[in-house]
């Protein structure tokens, strides 16, 4: 297949390009204002390019790059008969306790709203193509050092443990649980779904929730570091998801993946 990937310099984009290049012909595009990509001639566009910061407060910027550009890209693909996969986010669920794709949405940040609004918009559009939206849960793994404060807890905790021998953790983190999904499994989901001729929105997670404390403690034990608890910053309190756990009923109709457990990944990762 001939595939165009947007956001190829990002965390998931870098991994996905490497993952798919042996079996497919990959081209890339990175966001440039007013220089939009030509999609004609591709079998698929995989749209990962976006402002990924969950704390970005410039709403116009987020809406332009995450929502309006995604609309433009869908219309281009739809007009030129190019199938589309795009990245959404589990942040659209907000503080829900259930996570089926059809459950109520409670976006708590400009980033989450931009993802929810595009999900909502694209499902209502007449389609000549296959369109698959992927709601990523907490993705972790290699090639995310550039994300700095927006990197996954896995990456931040390991960096702290190696360099400072101290991991900073929000108080009550034994009660904060997320569905942590390995980026290699995310790539495998993308790959398998390229052969599925069904449109829809799909959760991408493991179906299991693990506490931040267990992640930090496993890393601390491995690198002989200590855990230091801090208060949660005020700017995170209202939008912080205390629990996520993907409902994979929809995705499992189409793919077979042995999902990696984060604690196992930590123990075996060098």
Angle between helix 69-79 and helix 110-123 axes, rounded to 10 deg: 20
Does 124 qualify as catalytic in the annotation?
A: no
Please pick, among 80, 147, 159, 222, the residue that the annotation labels catalytic: 147
Q: Is the Cβ–Cβ distance between 6 and 42 less than 8 Å?
A: no
Enclosing H/E stretch for 182: strand 180-182
* 165 catalytic per annotation: no
Evaluate whether 106 touches 93 at the Cβ level (below 8 Å). Answer: yes
Instruction: Quote the CA–CA distance of 55 and 150 in Å, as a whole number.
Output: 9
C-alpha to C-alpha distance for 161 and 163, rounded to whole angstroms:
6
Task: From the candidates 19, 86, 93, 111, give the one annotated as an active-site residue.
Answer: 111
Long-range contacts (CB closer than 8 Å, 24 or more residues apart) made by 99-104? 99/179, 99/203, 99/205, 99/244, 99/245, 99/246, 99/247, 100/203, 100/247, 100/249, 100/250, 101/135, 101/200, 101/201, 101/202, 101/203, 101/247, 101/250, 103/247
Report the distance separating Cα 117 and Cα 80, nearest Å. 23
Partners of 243 in beta bridges:
177
Q: Which residues are catalytic?
A: 111, 147
């Amino acid at each position: 297949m001939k595939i165009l990937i947007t956001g190829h310099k990002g965390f998931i984009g870098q991994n996905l390009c490497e993952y798919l290049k042996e079996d497919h012909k990959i081209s890339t595009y990175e966001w440039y204002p007013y220089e939009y990509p030509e999609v004609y001639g591709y079998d698929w566009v995989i749209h990962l390019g976006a402002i990924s910061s969950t704390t970005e407060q410039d709403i116009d910027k987020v809406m332009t790059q995450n929502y309006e550009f995604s609309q433009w890209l869908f219309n281009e693909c739809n007009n030129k008969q190019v199938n589309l996969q795009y990245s959404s986010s589990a942040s659209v669920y907000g503080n829900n306790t259930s996570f089926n794709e059809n459950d109520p949405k409670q976006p708590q940040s400009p980033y989450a709203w931009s993802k929810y609004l595009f999900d909502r918009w694209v499902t209502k559009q007449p389609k000549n193509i296959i369109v698959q939206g992927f709601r990523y849960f907490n993705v972790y793994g290699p090639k995310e050092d550039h994300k700095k404060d927006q990197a996954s807890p896995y990456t931040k905790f390991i960096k702290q443990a190696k360099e400072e021998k101290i991991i900073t953790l929000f108080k009550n983190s034994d009660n904060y649980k997320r569905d942590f999904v390995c980026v290699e499994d995310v790539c495998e989901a993308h790959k398998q779904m390229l052969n599925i001729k069904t449109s829809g929105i799909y959760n991408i997670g493991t179906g299991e929730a693990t506490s931040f404390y267990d992640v930090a403690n496993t890393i601390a034990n491995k690198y002989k570091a200590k855990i230091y608890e801090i208060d949660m910053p005020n700017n995170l309190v209202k939008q912080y998801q205390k629990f996520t756990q993907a409902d994979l009923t929809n995705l499992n109709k189409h793919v077979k993946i042995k999902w990696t457990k984060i604690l196992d990944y930590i123990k075996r990762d060098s």
